[in-house]
């Protein structure tokens, strides 16, 4: 199960990094490209914090938290039933965590580029890695609700 999740994680990581490198190479910082007016935009920003710019400038703390989260999740995965949805969930989370971790290690910040406006709320700019992490955790929460985190083989 873990191997399949790591294959998915590698795919997410590669796609995430290709998109980020492309955006970083061809777009100017804070340039805004309208996709759907008053809703969906692309813009390049450098985020040296976490979501909603929490812990701005705390790169070492964010790297340590990401590494610890990966270690915890890799060990925690064995408790989940070997279902395709759970494999995908962990793969998405691993890939997203690794995508943003690579940015933090190489650049000292994360490259974000997806901008959503909902009514008057200007949602924080995010990236594919963030979407993967959130999607993976939604799937894991669903698995926990269904009791799929109680694998009979996990105690062996």
Catalytic residue among 24, 103, 130, 149: 130
Q: Is 56 noted as a catalytic residue in this protein? A: no
Whether the pLDDT of residue 154 is over 60: the answer is no
pLDDT score recorded for residue 66 = 94
Q: Is 149 noted as a catalytic residue in this protein? A: no
Whether the pLDDT of residue 53 is over 70: the answer is no
Q: What is the pLDDT of residues 109-122, one digit of tens each?
A: 999 999 999 999 99
Domains of the chain: which residue ranges? 2-155
HEC string of 41-107?
EEEEEEECCCHHHCCCCCHHHHHHHHHHHHHHHHHHHHHCCCCHHHHHHHHHHHHHHHHHHHHHHHC
Q: What is the mean pLDDT of residues 99-104?
A: 96
pLDDT score recorded for residue 156 = 45
Catalytic residue among 16, 24, 103, 112: 112
């Amino acid at each position: 199960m873990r191997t399949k999740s790591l294959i998915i994680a590698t795919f997410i990581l590669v796609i995430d990094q290709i998109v980020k490198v492309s955006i970083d190479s061809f777009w100017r910082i804070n340039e805004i490209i309208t996709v759907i007016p008053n809703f969906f935009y692309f813009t390049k920003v450098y985020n040296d914090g976490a979501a909603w710019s929490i812990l701005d400038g705390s790169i070492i703390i964010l790297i340590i938290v990401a590494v610890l989260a990966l270690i915890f999740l890799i060990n925690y995965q064995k408790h989940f039933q070997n279902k395709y949805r759970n494999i995908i969930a962990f793969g998405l989370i691993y890939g997203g965590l690794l995508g943003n971790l690579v940015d933090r290690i190489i650049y000292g910040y994360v490259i974000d580029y997806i901008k959503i406006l909902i009514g008057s709320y200007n949602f924080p700019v995010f990236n594919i890695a963030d979407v993967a992490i959130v999607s993976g955790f939604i799937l894991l929460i669903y698995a926990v609700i269904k009791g799929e985190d109680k694998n009979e083989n996990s105690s062996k």
